[in-house]
Amino acid sequence: MNPGTLYLIPTPLGEGGLNWILPQQVQEVAARLGHFIVEHPKTARAFLKRVGTTVPLSTLHLTILDEHTPPDRLPHLLAPLRTGHDVGLMSEAGCPAVADPGAALVRLAHQEGIPVVPLVGPSALMLALMASGLEGQRFTFHGYLPVAGSARKKALRELEVTSRRQRATQLFIETPYRNTALLQAVLEACHDDTLLCVAMALTTPQQRIVTRSIAAWKASAPLLEKLPAVFCLQAG
């Protein structure tokens, strides 16, 4: 028996119109599947309800893959694929397997010869970089920086040095309620001529994207909303 296909299904970053965010073909793939691997069943079902599944929501098979899933659980998640069922992998992060625990599952699927098909959809990281005006030829995503003050400032100074040496944009994120604290740490750690873009709530009605020098950020004394944000930094 041939294995099924693992579809990597992007999900909206907010409540914007689906047809504006996801191509119709992506919605059609999500609508026909009966098996999904998800981070949170509640939000997954809400998304699938918006898509309009051809399979009744009550009969969908949803299994959980999140940051707490042990590695020895991953082979079990691939069981439907081994028996010929197509499966959709969805993430709370927008694009599966990018800044997301799904990467390990995708790697295992490749090891077992299971076809993997990425579908088109929003990536907050790429959208932020596109809109920042910063270096798009060379960039690195660092995920979450240390929370402790001294360790965070040390990390930011190292990112600034790396950005200057490599002429590369440095991307990082934070839990929304700590956005302002992270911004203040950047302002304290980095040089005035360094550029910083903060891209918040991308693809939603609350979207806000601002690129300024550190000096200009300091002058505005900003408080950031508690919304998902991507920080992009490029040293001058």
pLDDT for 16: 66
Domain boundaries, given as residue ranges, for the chain:
6-118, 124-234
174 burial via Cβ count (<10 Å: 0-12, 13-18, 19+): buried
The pTM (predicted TM-score) of the whole model is 0.89
pLDDT for 236: 83
What's the CATH fold of domain 124-234?
3.30.950
d(CA 75, CA 109): 9
Bridge partners, residue 63, by sequence: 37
pLDDT for 55: 86
Cα dihedral across residues 205, 226, 210, 165: positive or negative: negative
93 burial via Cβ count (<10 Å: 0-12, 13-18, 19+): buried
**Per CATH, is 6-118 categorized as 3.40.50.360?**
no
Local structure of 224: helix, strand or coil: coil
Beta carbons within 8 Å of 184's beta carbon, 6+ residues apart: none
pLDDT for 31: 96
Give me the residues of the chain with pLDDT under 70, please.
Answer: 16
Local structure of 38: helix, strand or coil: strand
